[in-house]
Amino acid sequence: MSNPLKRARIMIDSEVTGPSGNSDASTPTMTHHKELWFDDGSVVLNAEQILFRVHRTTLSTHSTVFHDMFRIPQPPGQDAIEGCTVVKLPDSSGEVEFLLKALYDPFFFDHSVTLLMFIEILPGMLRLSTKYNILQLRRKVIAIYLERFPSTLGAFDSRSSGDQVLYPWYIMSLVALFRETNALECLPCVFYFCSCLPMSDLLHGCDEVVLSWEDKSACLMGREELLRAQEEFSHSFIFKLVSPPNCANPSVCTRRARRNLYIFHHDQSPLSSVFALKLFTDWKMLDGICPACLSKAQLDHQAGRKVIWDRLPKFFGLESWDDIEKVKQNWADNHSQQGN
């Protein structure tokens, strides 16, 4: 990697404005971060116009990248502030701020994970914890994402439906984020939610977030697979109820189911809407069919959802769930060995 200790011209507050009050217009004014400036800090991180005085030992303990960086002898003439070497980071100051807060505050994640945290904090934290190989923090952030975008059907069904973050632009932005950070275990579920979005959002983007052509293609292919799979597997009873052998009068049950589910068809536009993994609970709509048919429809629904979940990554051109798990393990093994 490039040497992040490259020389950077750093001037802070009073240094910028000299006795005459004239400032060098070509040199940006640097500002100490109000909280992340420790008097006993041993290194100054500089991101954009913000300076953070923190501790080498803290950074080295959590990050193999910083650990390796601090082992390299500093070149003579290296910029320093109050005796601390200045390390210029090419990252956004906001992302660095929250990364450092998470490292210094053991209770950072004890507060509820708000919508603001999902949108403003977690993406940068995942990006930087991956970039600087801060494995514990990366695992924590991915675990939070997995609560919303799980990698098992059981967890998918356990999600709290009231706090879902499903803005179209937000969902689409996560596809690129999870690819960039190799958080592959979150991708199938995010792709599933993408496939439920309006076609215009998928193709043209939403609020300046536009999928790559590769991801647009993956979404459209997956959407087609899901429409087919919900008819064949998870929601087959809605399209065509198949009575079991112990049904006394299959023609009556089939006719009643078709009539009762007309309303569902009317509301859900089953030919164009993806609901393949949606848990069907409104079994009262099948009132009038025999218990044997009702039981078979319920079992088929659950078994069908399982089939679709197992195939979900493949629908979007990803590796299987098992292979995603192997890639995840390999990635963790390779990165945990760094810095040794």
Residues that bind Zn ion (CB under 5 A): 243, 247, 253, 290, 293
Nearer residue to Zn ion within complex by CB, 212 or 295 = 295
CB of 281: closest distance to Zn ion in angstroms? 20
Asked if residues 69 and 5 have their Cβ atoms less than 8 Å apart, the reply is yes
CB of 176 within 8 A of CB of 164?
Answer: no
The minimum distance between CB 312 and Zn ion, in angstroms, equals 31
Q: Are strands 31-37 and 43-47 parallel, antiparallel or unpaired?
A: unpaired
Q: How far is the CB of 241 from Zn ion (least distance, A)?
A: 8
304 to each of 71, 222, 228, 245, 296, how far by Cα in Å? 55, 16, 12, 20, 12
Q: What is the C-alpha separation between 183 and 181, in angstroms, rounded? A: 5
Radius of gyration for the chain, computed over Cα atoms and rounded to the nearest angstrom:
27
**Identity of the residue numbered 141:** V
Residue 173 or 243: the one with the smaller Cβ distance to Zn ion is 243
> Minimum CB separation from Zn ion for residue 254, in Å?
8
Residue 11 burial (CB < 10 Å; 0-12/13-18/19+)?
Answer: middle
CB of 267 to Zn ion, least distance (A): 24
Amino acid identity, position 58: T
Please, what is the minimum distance in Å from the beta carbon of residue 279 to Zn ion?
23
Residue 143 vs 248, nearer CB to Zn ion: 248
When the beta carbons of 277 and 293 are compared against Zn ion, the nearer one is 293
Nearer to Zn ion, 117 or 242 (CB): 242
Helices 291-315 and 213-229 pack at an angle, to 10 degrees, of 160
The nearer residue to Zn ion, 80 or 299, going by C-beta atoms, is 299
